[in-house]
Amino acid sequence: MSDLTIRPLGYALGAEVTGIDLRKPLDAALRAEINEIWLRHLVLVFPGQDLSPAEQIAFSRQFGELDRHDFQPRYTHPDHREILLITNRPIDGKPSDTRNTGRNWHTDLTFTTRSAKGALLLCRERPPVGGDTMFANLYLAYETLTPRMRSFIDDMEAIHDVSLVKGIEQRDPEKVAELKRTNPPVAHPLVRLHPETGRKSLLPGQRVRGIVGLSEGESAALLGFLNEHAQSPEFVYRHRWNVHDLVMWDNRCTQHVALPDFDQSQPRLMLRCSLQGEVTGRLIEPARARIDDRETLMQQLAAVA
C-alpha cells in the first residue's frame, strides 16, 4: 500500500490527495492507484506540488499522450510545447489571449472532434481573493434525469461551436478568424460513455449551439433545461486555488468554468498539460451546422394557408 491520503472535498466530486511527491517517478502500482482514485473522484487536488515544467510534463504523461496546444502556440511555455500558459500577465508585451480562458461552462476542446481526455493545471500565481474554478459531475447530471428523459436524449447529438467560447471577441481578431476557420461546428453525442468506467454522462455546456434534428426553439428549450440542470450546485465542487496546487480533472465526465471573480490587475498564472482524447465527434457540413429550422417552415406554411 502507498502513503496516499484521500480527503473528499465535495459531495459530487473532488478529492485532495496528499502523501505523495509528484516530482518522483511513479511505479506502475502507484499510477494505477491514482488513476483509480481519479475515476472515483473525477477531480484530484494535489496541494504543495512545486513542480518544474519538466516535472509537470513527466507526471502528466503517466495518464496519456500530451497535447501540443496547436490552437494557441503563442501561449505555450517557451521551452515546452506541452505546457499552456493560462494567464492575465501580458505575453510579448501584448494582453494574453488566455486571460479569459474557460469563462463559460465547458468541457475542454469539444469544438474539435477529439475533446480532451483530461487536464492537469498547476497554480503558479493567484490573486489574493477569487479566480476560483468550478467543476461539475456530469455522470450525476445524467443519472438524476428521469428514465423517460434519459431515453429521449440518449441518441441525440449536440453541435459544439468555437464561436460560443465566452470572450472570444476580445482576442486577437486574426487568431480568432483562424480558429473559426479551422474549427467548423462539430457534433458530439449528448450522452457519452466513459471509456474506462463504462458509465454514461451528459455532455452539455455553453458552447453548444443546438441539437441535431431539432428546431431552434426545441433546441433552446432542451439545452436551457439540461444546462441549468447540469450546473446545479449539488453537482458542483468549487476550487479555491493555492499556489502549487496541481488539479487534475477527468474531462470525459465533467465540465468546468473559470470564474472572473477577481481583480484583473492582480496576476494569475496557471500552467496546463492537456491529455489527448479519443475521437468522439464528427464534422458536420456547413449547411447542416444550422439547426433544421422547422419552426420557420411551419410559420411560412401557416402564412400561406
Ligand X SMILES: O=C(O)CCC(=O)C(=O)O
Instruction: Give catalytic residues, as residue numbers.
Output: 106, 108, 256, 272
The residue count for the chain: 305
* Cβ distance to ligand X smaller for residue 113 or 133: 133
14 binds Fe ion (CB under 5 A): no
Minimum CB distance to ligand X smaller for 118 or for 189: 118
Per CB under 5 A, 131 contacts Fe ion: no
The answer to whether 157 contacts Fe ion (rule: CB under 5 A) is: no
In 3D, which of 114, 138, 164 has the Cα closest to residue 250?
138
Nearest approach, Cβ of 240 to ligand X (angstroms)?
11
Binding site for ligand X (CB under 6 A): 86, 101-102, 108, 119, 121, 133, 256, 258, 270, 272
The residues near 33 (Cβ < 8 Å, ≥ 6 apart) are: 2, 4
For residues 33 and 46, give the distance between their C-alpha atoms in angstroms, rounded to a whole number: 14
Among 102, 118, 204, 281, binds Fe ion (CB under 5 A): 102
Tell me if 67 contacts Fe ion by CB under 5 A: no
- Binding-site member from 33, 67, 108, 245 for Fe ion (CB under 5 A): 108
Size of the site for Fe ion (CB under 5 A): 2
**Nearer CB in complex with ligand X: 33/108:** 108
Dihedral, CA atoms, 229, 291, 170, 84, nearest 10 degrees?
70
Residue nearest to ligand X (CB): 102
- Minimum CB separation of residue 25 from ligand X in Å reads 25
Place of cell 450525476: 140
Q: Which is nearer to ligand X, 144 or 206 (CB)?
A: 206
Give the count of alpha carbons within 13 A of 305, CB side only.
6
- Closest to 105 (Cα-Cα) out of 216, 218, 202: 202
Cβ closest to ligand X, residue 29 vs residue 259 = 259
Q: Which three cell numbers stand for residue 255?
A: 465540465
CA-CA-CA-CA dihedral for 154, 155, 156, 157, to nearest 10? 120
Region of 3-11, 22-30, 105-113, 244-252 interacting with Fe ion (CB under 5 A): 105-113
User: Taking the complex as a whole, how short is the minimal distance between the CB of residue 180 and ligand X, in angstroms?
Assistant: 19
- Shortest spacing between CB 280 and ligand X, in angstroms: 18
Least Cα distance to 57 among 17, 19, 22, 97 occurs for: 22
Which residue's CB comes closest to Fe ion?
A: 102
The least CB distance from residue 119 to ligand X, in Å, is 6
Query: 234-266 in b/e burial notation, b at 16+ Cβ within 10 A?
Result: ebbbebebeeebbbbbbbbbbbbbbeeebeeee
Binding site for Fe ion (CB under 5 A): 102, 108
